[in-house]
Structure 1
Amino acid sequence: MELADIPYTAAAADRQRQLDVYAPPSAVHAVPRPPLVVFLHGGAWRAEDKAEHRQLALNLVAATGFAVAVPNYRLTPRDPPDDDHFRHPGHAEDALHALSFLVAWQGPSAAGPFYDPSRLYLIGHSCSAHMLSSIFLDSKAVSPSLTPPPELVQSVKGIVLSEGIYDLDLLLADFPDYLQWFIRPTFGTRESYTPFSTTTFPLIATHIKWLIIHSKGDTLVNLPQSEAIYRHLVDLNGNEASARVYRNTDNLSAEHNDIFLAQDYAHIVKEFILNCGAV
């Protein structure tokens, strides 16, 4: 089953605030209802569309047997003339609205939802890894609009962050051209972007498990980004880190988005979800 272009805000006609849902036939009448997987795409806060990730969603459905939602979110315009345009935290606010919608949504008919809204597993790729870690770590000191409601926090059981951006100043030290390409348009003109680096944010929930994925073949975002967020999450979780924080930096070797082309990515996600206790 595929449901396309479901609006998650009152702006029903805005494609950038719509989502698609994919579900196996078994999910429709399953008892108990299965969890929901949500995939947020990358694209440097300025590109990509949910439809481009249809095959990945189908791979995740096939691997897990669970429904998969793929939201869009509004994008920063290419080459904006100044700082007066759509930018951070707007993209992550849209993602937060999409997640809150999915927790409350009653499905396409009066039959009710075909997934358990109290069991969500989230995937953020590239810039969306920054978005999810800005929402589910405590960023309220810099972005109070990204504070998630308690019912959403409790619903999220696991978060996968793949090929992610987390420490913006570290990223610019390694890729200085990214400043003009997407960091300045997304976060504005600043001497330092440390306030937006999610490797500084506190923990807001101890029940959420985390998986950090990074491909050895990624040339667009390098491994130090994933190492930084992994160390931060380990430090935050203290003695419980071995049971809450995982990483996979050895099994994938394709380029940044090419990791989705094979089945390996979906199976890594599946194993993590099962390790979180989902059945």
Structure 2
Amino acid sequence: MSDAAAEPGTAAARNAAEEKSVFSHPAVDPDGTAVYGDHPDQVIDFYAPRGAAGPGGAAPVVVLLHGGSWRAPYDRRHVSPFAGFLAHRGFAVASVEYRRGARGAGSEDAGAEGAGGDGGAGSEDAGAEGVRGDGGAGGPVAGRWPDTFDDVAAALDALPALVRRHLPQADARRVVLTGHSAGGHLALWAAARHVLPADAPWRLDRPAPLRGVVALAPIAAFEVADKLDVCGGATRQLLGGRELFADRRPYADPALLLPTGIATTLVQGRADVDVPQAVAEAYADAAAKAGEVVGVTLLEDVGHFPLIDPAADACAVVAEEIAQLAW
């Protein structure tokens, strides 16, 4: 959790205030929920558009993947105020839940075994633990291999039919993926399934029909994130531990899954201490080397959480970035 005793005016104090703000909003109930599998975490919440329709008439669909370093204590409820904010901006929103890491597993390798949890419905304590838990003894482990990836792939495959059923106001042909932090990673990964290795079970033979991706402070480049120990070694845990990290990276690391041919924008706070700017820059550099231009919007004096905080100016910037791809 953030240090409540941080000196006023310091970066730590600002980060603590931003974190407190994002978790202060009450959860926003969806207009409907659908299942895409048998596990309790295999569900999608739907938010109908409430704002004025855009130039195309029917609302575009924003597929939202929550963050929390792929750890069980942090579920989709904490991004429900952000989903509601987007709905009031005229978007139809599909907020995806997926299986995450175990609680209380004591080793790096336990990430492949742990059961998903309901994550405490977006409370501040659950959110802080999910972001900053170190995955050590008694702490939550990041991700489940291959379950986390199985779920995101299955949810995206099921989405067109579910959108037609649950969001009749929406245009299922205009879809933008967005996600925050670990969810930003999953959004980039989901858009790159057609460039996965040939033996990957999630591979598609053609690009997904997306308008684009807007990844918010994404854990987008695993080598850099691992060196910086982002979220307490979460990338290593997601891939099953240090011994499996190199072997599984080609199947999971967005920086190795380029070019995608899909319009992509990263939105990053320069003051982010949870997922530092260097991670986004590493992904953009990898894209450039692969011959692809990735947009990077850097926000001054913004940390990790304002990007999904309806009370923050940064959240409006995110909505504009999504609108530029969606309409």
Letter in 2 for 1:118: R
Residues 1:230 and 2:284 aligned together: yes
Choose the corresponding residue for 1:55, options 74, 81, 90. 81
Structure 1 residues 259 and 32: CA distance shift in structure 2, 3 A: closer
1:123 counterpart residue number: 178
Q: Whole-Å Cα distance in 2 between the matches of residues 51 and 177 of structure 1? A: 20
- For the 8 Å contact 1:21–1:69, the answer to whether it is kept is yes
Structure 1 residues 60 and 149: CA distance shift in structure 2, 3 A: farther
CA-to-aligned-CA distance 1:67-117 (integer Å, 9 cap, x gap):
111111011103435445152332122122222222122324xxx732111
Q: Whole-Å Cα distance in 2 between the matches of residues 177 and 18 of structure 1? A: 25
- For the 8 Å contact 1:15–1:72, the answer to whether it is kept is no
CA-based RMSD = 2.9
Choose the corresponding residue for 2:308, options 252, 260, 275. 260
Q: Whole-Å Cα distance in 2 between the matches of residues 201 and 45 of structure 1? A: 20
5 Å-filtered alignment, 1:116-265, equals 116-137=171-192, 138=194, 140-141=196-197, 144-148=200-204, 150=206, 153-154=208-209, 156-175=210-229, 178-179=232-233, 182-191=234-243, 193-194=245-246, 195-196=248-249, 197-204=253-260, 206=261, 208-238=262-292, 241=293, 245-251=294-300, 253-254=302-303, 256-261=304-309, 262-265=311-314
- For the 8 Å contact 1:36–1:116, the answer to whether it is kept is yes
SS of 1:68's equivalent in the other structure is strand
Q: Whole-Å Cα distance in 2 between the matches of residues 134 and 37 of structure 1? A: 16
Gaps of 5+ in 1: none
- For the 8 Å contact 1:20–1:70, the answer to whether it is kept is yes
Q: Whole-Å Cα distance in 2 between the matches of residues 266 and 143 of structure 1? A: 38
Structure 1 residues 272 and 20: CA distance shift in structure 2, 3 A: same
1:95 counterpart residue number: 152
Q: Shift of residue 183 of structure 1? A: 3.5
Choose the corresponding residue for 1:107, options 147, 160, 165. 165
2:95 counterpart residue number: 70
Residues 1:19 and 2:44 aligned together: yes
When structure 1 is superposed on structure 2, of 84-93 and 69-78 the one drifting more is: 84-93
Structure 1 residues 101 and 264: CA distance shift in structure 2, 3 A: farther
- For the 8 Å contact 2:299–2:314, the answer to whether it is kept is no
Q: Whole-Å Cα distance in 2 between the matches of residues 54 and 149 of structure 1? A: 33
SS of 2:95's equivalent in the other structure is strand
2:23 counterpart residue number: none
- For the 8 Å contact 2:67–2:182, the answer to whether it is kept is yes
Structure 1 residues 213 and 78: CA distance shift in structure 2, 3 A: same
1:272 counterpart residue number: 321
Q: Whole-Å Cα distance in 1 between the matches of residues 195 and 68 of structure 2? A: 22
Structure 1 residues 145 and 264: CA distance shift in structure 2, 3 A: farther
Q: Whole-Å Cα distance in 2 between the matches of residues 21 and 68 of structure 1? A: 6
Q: Shift of residue 176 of structure 1? A: 7.5
Gaps of 5+ in 2: 1-28, 115-143
SS of 2:212's equivalent in the other structure is strand
